[in-house]
């Protein structure tokens, strides 16, 4: 039942063009109250993703505290994706400089503080590796009950994108993802099954650009940059992964979501980072039959784009010094 109260949320990610657009959508929603922003390494080093997070918050007017997350995954070496997001991790349009210092907390400390202080369950939107979220669950098991949902972009039941088996966010930190998926906390997973269908076409870029506010111009230029490599890879549109973690939570009716048991492979030579889903057709597996994740498998693409446009229009009248 919609009580009209805003839902307290934490944005955790590795901005990253699609993280930045996901945060644009989150800030535009009158149903979400952003209580903290935390960063992980992934698209770029955590130093760079943190600087990007601070600039995005200055652009959008997100005044929540910001904390830098772990520089390293739980048990593996850092990986970056400069080929997709550029040297800065957010190449393309000029952005405002940060408008305030970091919070002084680590990501886990800030997440725990938000959970402790919140009257209502907090939703964590995680659009990078699960390192901070797993570290939070491991160091503060007593706060698990304060998490209403962990809505992630990550994984792929049918295929990967960094290896044939593994999607990038999960592969950066498979142990962290397995910790989150087996935690008992409600998890909603937007993997490549849905995000590769959430294509934003070049004509949609122009629809967004023509909204005409400062944020719309910058979002369109983020899409322009993000499309460069995807065009070279043969995509007709930009697969906008991360906003699905927000929009599938806010508008489940435009998605196809299935309850599934999902395990994360952490040991395979070729399959490390694979999200192995049991559609439920394989019976008699005992615990592996018990669903533990709401897996988002499809989206109405037109409605997805509509929600993006709606969100960007909310920034009419906002202009910051760049």
**Residues taking part in catalysis:** 241
48 binds ligand RIB per the rule CB under 6 A: no
167 binds Ca ion per the rule CB under 5 A: no
Region 63-102 residues binding ligand RIB, contact defined as CB under 6 A: none
Which element (helix H / strand E) includes 152? strand 147-153
Which residue's CB is nearer to ligand RIB, number 82 or number 96? 82
The item of ligand RIB, Ca ion, none sharing an interface with residue 60, based on CB under 5 to 8 Å by kind, is none
- Binder among 24, 38, 80, 127 for ligand RIB (CB under 6 A): 127
18 binds ligand RIB per the rule CB under 6 A: yes
As a whole number of angstroms, the distance between CA 196 and CA 115 comes to 32
Question: Which class for 201: exposed (0-12), middle (13-18), buried (19 or more C-beta within 10 A)?
Answer: middle
CB 150 within 8 A of CB 187: yes
CB 111 within 8 A of CB 136: yes
Which residue's CB is nearer to Ca ion, number 204 or number 242? 242
The item of Ca ion, ligand RIB, none sharing an interface with residue 168, based on CB under 5 to 8 Å by kind, is ligand RIB
154 binds Ca ion per the rule CB under 5 A: no
Region 227-286 residues binding Ca ion, contact defined as CB under 5 A: 242
As a whole number of angstroms, the distance between CA 222 and CA 141 comes to 38
Q: Which of 180, 196, 170 is nearest to 138 (CA)?
A: 180
175 binds ligand RIB per the rule CB under 6 A: no
As a whole number of angstroms, the distance between CA 62 and CA 38 comes to 12
14 binds ligand RIB per the rule CB under 6 A: yes
Q: Angle, nearest 10°, between helix axes 301-313 and 214-232? A: 150
Structure tokens given for 254: 């435009």
Binding region for Ca ion (CB under 5 A): 14, 16, 19, 127-128, 242
Which residues in this chain contact ligand RIB in the complex, by CB under 6 A? 14, 16, 18-19, 42-43, 127-128, 153, 161, 167-169, 241-242
């Amino acid at each position: 039942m919609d009580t009209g109260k805003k839902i307290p949320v934490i944005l955790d990610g590795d901005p990253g063009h699609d993280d930045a657009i996901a945060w644009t959508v989150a800030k535009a929603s009158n149903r979400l109250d952003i209580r903290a922003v935390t960063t992980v390494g992934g698209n770029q080093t955590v130093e760079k993703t943190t600087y990007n997070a601070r600039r995005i918050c200055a652009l959008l007017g997100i005044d929540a505290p910001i904390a830098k997350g772990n520089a390293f995954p739980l048990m593996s070496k850092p990986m970056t994706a400069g080929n997709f997001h550029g040297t800065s991790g957010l190449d393309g349009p000029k952005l405002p400089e940060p408008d305030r210092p970091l919070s002084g907390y680590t990501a886990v400390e800030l997440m725990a503080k938000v959970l402790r202080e919140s009257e209502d369950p907090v939703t964590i939107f995680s659009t990078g590796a699960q390192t901070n979220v797993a570290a939070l669950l491991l160091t503060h098991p007593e706060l698990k009950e304060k998490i209403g949902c962990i809505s992630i972009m990550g994984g792929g039941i049918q295929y990967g994108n960094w290896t044939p088996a593994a999607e990038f966010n999960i592969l950066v930190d498979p142990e962290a993802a397995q910790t989150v998926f087996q935690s008992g906390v409600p998890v909603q997973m937007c993997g490549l099954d849905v995000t590769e269908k959430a294509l934003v076409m070049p004509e949609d870029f122009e629809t967004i650009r023509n909204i005409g506010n400062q944020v719309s111009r910058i979002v369109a230029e983020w899409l322009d940059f993000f499309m460069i490599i995807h065009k070279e890879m043969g995509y007709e549109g930009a697969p906008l992964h991360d906003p699905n973690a927000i929009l599938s939570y806010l508008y489940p009716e435009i998605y196809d979501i299935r309850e599934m048991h999902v395990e994360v492979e952490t040991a395979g030579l070729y399959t490390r980072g694979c999200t192995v889903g049991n559609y439920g057709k394989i019976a008699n597996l005992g615990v592996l039959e018990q669903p533990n994740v709401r897996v988002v498998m499809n989206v109405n693409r037109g409605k997805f784009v509509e929600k993006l446009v709606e969100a960007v229009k909310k920034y009419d009248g906002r202009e910051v010094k760049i």
